[in-house]
Every structure is written in structure tokens, then in C-alpha cells.
């Protein structure tokens, strides 16, 4: 009979499995979301939830118990100071597993494991950064500058035709060499 034998072994020895799961929980605490295989995510979930429960307790004994399991002071500090207070109203279910599909190399099922309370913050930050990068990338091309002299050319051709070729000669020294370096000699 297999009663009370619930441990997911993951093909590792007990010491290796214990270290792996502790490192996964520390990474989850630090990064708020980790990408791993589905089997590891399912094995990490009970340990992560147990650590949050210890963090909600907040006593020195709970802190020492968490430190004995995780073995990283900064992760325990962040768990007790940031993550556990956010989950004070919850009675469980602090983590979420999101399935991602198969890995290309070995077809292992991949998944995200993340904190339920952090989903909003993680999703909004990358969206803002991408918008900012796109805005910065658009002013860099010199096409708007070229458009202005073209608009001036019909009026300027009657007065001074020499000024129109000058902007056309400026882009020529900016040619790239074979290795992608800018030419400074010309």
C-alpha cells in the first residue's frame, strides 16, 4: 500500500531533491515567477505554500524553520517582509501554475509558477518598457530631417541651388563597413 507516500521523486536522491526544491522556492521568492517543467512546478508548490504560511506566522521560530529549509537569508527576509504580508487575507492557494506547452528539445511540458498576488505587477512593467522603447526608436531615424530639406528645396532652388546637395552628402560618410563598424576615415 502507498498510503502517506505523496512525495514527487523527480528522479533524484532525497538530498538532491531537497536542495533543488529549496533553490526553486528561493528563485520564486526573488523573481516572483519562474519557468520550469510541469513536474517540478507541481513539486515546488507545496513547499512554497508552506513557506508563506510560516511567513504569515512571523515568529522567530517560524523564521528559523524557513531558514533551515531554504538556506538563503535574503530569500527568507523577502518572504517575511514582502510576500507573506500580501497574502495575509488568504487561507491558502498562494501560487498559480500556468501551463506553457512542450519544450522543443525534449518535449517536456513547461509551466510558469508564480504568486497569485503578483500577477498584476509582473504584467504591467514589461508593457510600459516596451512602449518606451518603441517611442525612443522612432525619433532616431533621420528621415524627418530629410523631409524638411525636401520641403524647402522648391523654394530654395530658385535662390541657392548649392544648399540642396549638402544634406545629400552627409549620409555618405555614415556607411558601414563589412564588420559593421562606422567609417571614421572618410
pLDDT in tens, the chain (186 residues): 989 888 999 999 999 999 999 999 999 999 999 999 999 999 999 999 999 999 999 999 999 999 999 999 999 999 999 999 999 999 999 999 999 999 999 999 999 999 999 845 444 455 555 555 555 555 555 555 554 555 555 554 455 555 555 555 555 555 555 665 555 555
Q: How many domains does the chain fold into?
A: 2
Does 102 share its domain with 163? no
In which element (H, E) is residue 152 found? Answer: helix 143-159
Domain that holds residue 62: 14-116
Residue 102 belongs to a domain with what CATH number? 3.90.1030.10
Domain assignment present for residue 123? The answer is: no
Cell of 93: 492557494
- Phi/psi at 182 (5° precision): -80, 140
Does 19 share its domain with 77?
yes
Do both 151 and 111 map to the same domain? no
pTM of this structure: 0.63
The H or E element containing residue 111 is: strand 109-115
Phi and psi dihedrals of 162, rounded to 5? -75, -30
Amino acid at each position: 500500500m502507498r498510503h502517506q507516500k505523496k512525495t514527487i521523486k523527480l528522479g533524484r536522491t532525497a538530498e538532491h531533491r531537497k536542495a533543488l526544491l529549496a533553490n526553486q522556492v528561493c528563485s520564486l521568492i526573488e523573481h516572483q515567477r519562474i519557468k520550469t517543467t510541469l513536474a517540478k512546478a507541481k513539486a515546488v508548490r507545496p513547499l512554497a505554500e508552506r513557506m508563506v504560511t510560516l511567513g504569515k506566522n512571523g515568529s522567530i521560530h517560524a523564521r528559523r524553520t524557513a531558514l533551515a529549509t531554504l538556506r538563503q537569508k535574503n530569500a527568507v527576509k523577502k518572504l517575511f517582509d514582502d510576500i507573506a504580508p500580501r497574502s495575509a487575507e488568504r487561507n491558502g492557494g498562494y501560487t498559480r501554475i500556468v501551463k506553457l506547452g512542450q519544450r522543443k528539445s525534449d518535449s517536456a511540458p513547461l509551466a510558469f509558477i508564480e504568486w497569485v498576488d503578483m500577477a498584476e505587477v509582473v504584467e504591467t512593467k514589461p508593457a510600459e518598457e516596451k512602449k518606451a522603447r518603441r517611442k525612443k526608436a522612432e525619433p532616431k531615424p533621420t528621415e524627418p530631417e530629410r523631409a524638411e530639406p525636401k520641403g524647402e528645396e522648391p523654394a530654395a532652388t530658385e535662390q541657392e541651388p548649392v544648399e540642396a546637395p549638402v544634406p545629400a552628402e552627409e549620409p555618405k560618410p555614415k556607411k558601414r563597413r563589412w564588420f559593421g563598424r562606422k567609417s571614421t576615415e572618410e
